[in-house]
Amino acid sequence: VEGNGQTELVEALAGLRAVGAGSVRVAGREVAALGVRERAEAGVSHIPEDRHRRGLVLDYSIADNLVFGLQHRFARGARLERGRIAANAERLIREFDIRPADPTLPARALSGGNQQKIVIAREMTGRDYHVLLAAQPTRGVDVGAIEFIHDQLRRARAAGKGIVLVSADLAEILALSDRVAVMYRGRFVTVLPRGEATADRLGPYMTGAAGAAGGEAAA
């Protein structure tokens, strides 16, 4: 259920919110004191829950949005290499079926599903990440895009990537997750293996009827 600290937890893991206590480790490396870019270089990739606020600059081109956060990899000195940016865009537009397939179009000209594909293409191919923070990755997209995004997440899992999936869609959680954690008032109140996680069992934790007094602080 949204509003129980999921947003704050993901922001703390991504480096967008200061961590007051505890640690954040990626592949054994402590990253809690690092900024967003440094965490990304350490292997953290982030699909934000609000693609307009955190994931895209709507008036910029598809090509430019596909390299945000990665500009230093497409630059020689202080100058961006436009040819490489265009080639990167053409490849990702093809691989992720982003429509219309014109890298010069502003991101705002695309549907919500295709805007989300830009974010996913950038975050899942732009760096060799260890952990993917996927916050509400299918919010506001059409059925076809939902299936495509689910397939990308399954492929990442099969490739050995760690995925923290946050979703308000219980069916999505149950379809994709190996373990299911429920947050209530800023704490994990249960963590269950998928085989034990059913709607009936999770419901009391989601409403606070079970486990509200226990659990561990989330952030």
b/e map 83-93, b = 16+ CB within 10 Å: eebeebbeebb
Is pTM, for the whole model, over 0.85? yes
Burial class (CB in 10 A: 0-12, 13-18, 19+), 135: buried
Are 129 and 161 in contact, with CB atoms under 8 Å apart?
yes
Residue pLDDT tens, the chain, 219 long:
999 999 999 999 999 999 989 999 999 999 999 999 999 999 999 999 999 999 999 999 999 999 999 999 999 998 999 999 999 999 999 999 999 999 999 999 999 999 999 999 999 998 889 999 999 999 989 998 999 999 999 999 999 999 999 999 999 999 999 999 999 999 999 999 999 999 999 999 999 999 865 445 443
Report the distance separating Cα 189 and Cα 182, nearest Å: 6
Chain centroid, CA 218 distance in Å: 18
HEC profile of 202-216? HHHHHHCCCCCCCCE
